[in-house]
Each structure stands twice: as C-alpha cells, then as structure tokens.
Amino acid sequence: MRKTARPILLIEDDQVDVMTVQRALKELHVTNRLDVAENGQQALHRLKAADIERPCLILLDLNMPIMNGIEFLRVAKNDPELRRIPVVVLTTSEEQRDKIESFDLGVAGYMCKPVDYRQFVETIRSIDTYWTLSELPE
C-alpha cells in the first residue's frame, strides 16, 4: 500500500478492531494514513466530501449499526465516482450469503478477521502485499 501516499479508509465500528488494524499496519511499516468511519453512512459522507482525499483502499466491516457493509457496498459500487475504489471486506462473518453478496457487489477481496493477533497481522500483510503489487486506475 506504500506505493501511493493516499490514505486507507477503515469502515469499522468496533474500537478494539480499529486499534488492532492500526497496530498491525504500524508493525508492517505501512505509512499510509488510516482514516476511520464508524459505519457506512459516515464513510459515504467522508467519500463525498470535496476537501477530503479519496482513499487508495477501503477495508470494510460488514456488521455495523446505521448502515452496514452490504448497504454501503450497494451505494458505493453504484456511484461512478466511488465504484473503482478497491474494497476488501474484513469481517467476522463467515456467512456464505455475505460472501456471495459482497462479491456480487464488486469487492476485491473478502477476509475473515482472525482472533489470533499474529494471524491478523498476516492477513493485513497479505492485503498490503496484494495492493502494493496491484495496478490501480488513477
């Protein structure tokens, strides 16, 4: 993810999970700023704001209040200005229905959050490696 200076947007309502992602990114020396939205509605507001830089990647939890991850995807992936921002689902849901709906809505990946911190760091490392090598449209 270091290839670009653009921020990463984490859409996550659980503060412990936010801190875990921050800690893992720091441990992996990912220098991109991490912006956080607590739900899909807050994230859409942030993405639509003219004065806020668009992220290079969105890490999306599915289970959130107000607007959950699937509802966020329905709106974001139908918006011509937002649909090309890559989204990786990072969730505790192992529901087949959530996986199918997420991919139907155009996610770039779906990762279940490991409970073990070392495994969590390896999950974040995989995402980092993929996005460091991936060619993204401008």
* Per-residue pLDDT tens digits for 104-120: 999 999 999 888 889 98
How many residues are there in the chain?
138
pLDDT, tens digit, for every residue of 25-77?
999 988 888 999 999 999 999 999 888 888 989 999 999 889 899 999 999 99
Q: What is the pLDDT of residue 1?
A: 47
Q: For residue range 4-20, what is the model confidence (pLDDT) as tens digits?
A: 578 899 999 999 999 99
Cα distance between residue 83 and residue 85, in whole Å: 6
CATH 3.40.50.2300 fits 8-131, yes or no: yes
In the prediction, which pLDDT does 125 show? 87
CA 131 to chain centre: 12
Per the CB < 8 A criterion, the answer to whether 81 and 54 are in contact is no
pLDDT at 50: 80
pTM: 0.90
